């Protein structure tokens, strides 16, 4: 579903601040893969997601989604293939609009633009059903402004909006990092439910090593712009955090900076 071949991205080329953020990255996801992505600060995790999403063009390499090359496509032309949830709960929703207005924008994403009628009763009932499954009581607040919601409610709504139209690839960029532990656990539970029900192919960045091993079916580790570990199957099922850190040190030849990592 996703193929990344030899991606290279250098920022501030030719200056004292030159940084090779992606260094010949190789990665392949098959349909329904749920891959957690870990690594120290500056390892290239968010840069990889930004490259796949089309936030910038890479210097070299190729990106394919479902067999279609998208390497040179701008971000808006990838919108019908990729959905993304960011760390900031405010990023994925329009606070001045109502819940149902946000949902209808997401529901009609990628469809032919033309004059449309207002939200119809069937669409409103569809939204209520989807919101009810979140278990947050939002199904009774369709006409409330999104700015009135808590951070966790907004992030859950963003996740729903990102998956109303099934994407080929779902990108989760530390989407629970700004939430308190209880709310983060709820959003992660919803994430698992949505990805399993819709059989979504997913890339999720996390700084929580426990989450990296507990969620999804694969864990990749990045270091200095490259994928240095790809753990799956029985090896991943038996993996411990201490063993993971040992593997990192062996593969990278250095100690992992765990300043921002949550180890348990």
Number of domains in the chain: 1
Is the pLDDT score of 162 beyond 50?
yes
Q: What is the 3-state secondary structure (H, E, C) of the chain?
A: CEEEEEEEEEECCCCCCCEEEEEEEEEEECCCCEEEEECCCCCCHHHHHHHHHCCCCCCEEEEEECCEECCCCCHHHHCCCEEEECCCCCCCCCCCCEHHHHHHHHHCCCCCCCCCCCCCHHHHHHHHHHHHCCCCCHHHCCCCEHHHCCHHHHHHHHHHHHHCCCCCEEEEECCCCCCCHHHHHHHHHHHHHHHHHHCCCEEEECCEHHHHHHCCCEEEEEECCEEEEEEEHHHHHCCCHHHHHHHHHHHHCCCCCCCCCECC
The model's pLDDT over 99-125, given as tens digits with 9 standing for 90+, comes to 999 999 888 876 655 445 577 888 899
What's 102's domain CATH number? 3.40.50.300
Average the pLDDT over 6-21 and give the result.
94
Q: What is the mean pLDDT of the chain?
A: 89
Among 40-44, 199-203, 218-222, name the one with the lowest average pLDDT.
40-44
The model's pLDDT over 31-88, given as tens digits with 9 standing for 90+, comes to 999 999 999 888 999 999 999 999 999 999 999 999 999 999 999 899 889 999 998 8
Can you give the residue range of the structural domain that contains 30? 2-263
């Amino acid at each position: 579903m996703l193929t990344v071949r030899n991606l290279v991205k250098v920022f501030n080329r030719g200056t004292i601040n030159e940084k090779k953020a992606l260094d010949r990255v190789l990665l392949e996801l098959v349909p329904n893969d749920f891959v957690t992505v870990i690594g120290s600060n500056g390892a290239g995790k968010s840069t990889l997601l930004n490259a796949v999403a089309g936030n910038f063009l890479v210097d070299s390499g190729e990106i394919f989604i479902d067999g279609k090359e998208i390497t040179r496509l701008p971000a808006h032309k990838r919108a019908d293939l990729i959905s993304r949830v960011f760390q900031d709960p405010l990023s994925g929703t329009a606070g001045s609009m109502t819940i149902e207005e946000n949902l209808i924008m997401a529901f009609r994403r990628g469809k032919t633009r033309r004059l449309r009628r207002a939200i119809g009763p069937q669409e409103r009932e569809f939204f209520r059903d989807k919101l009810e499954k979140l278990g947050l009581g939002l199904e009774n607040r369709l006409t409330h402004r999104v700015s009135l919601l808590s951070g966790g409610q907004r992030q859950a709504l963003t996740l729903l909006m990102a998956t109303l139209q099934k994407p080929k690839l779902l990108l989760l960029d530390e989407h629970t990092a700004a939430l308190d532990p209880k709310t983060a656990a709820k959003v992660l539970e919803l994430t698992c439910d949505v990805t399993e029900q819709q059989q979504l192919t997913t890339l999720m960045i996390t700084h929580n090593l426990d989450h990296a091993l507990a969620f999804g079916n694969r864990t990749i580790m990045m270091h200095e712009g490259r994928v240095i570990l790809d753990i799956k199957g029985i090896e991943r099922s038996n993996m411990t955090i201490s063993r993971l850190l040992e593997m990192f040190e062996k593969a990278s030849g250095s100690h992992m900076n765990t300043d921002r990592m949550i180890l348990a």
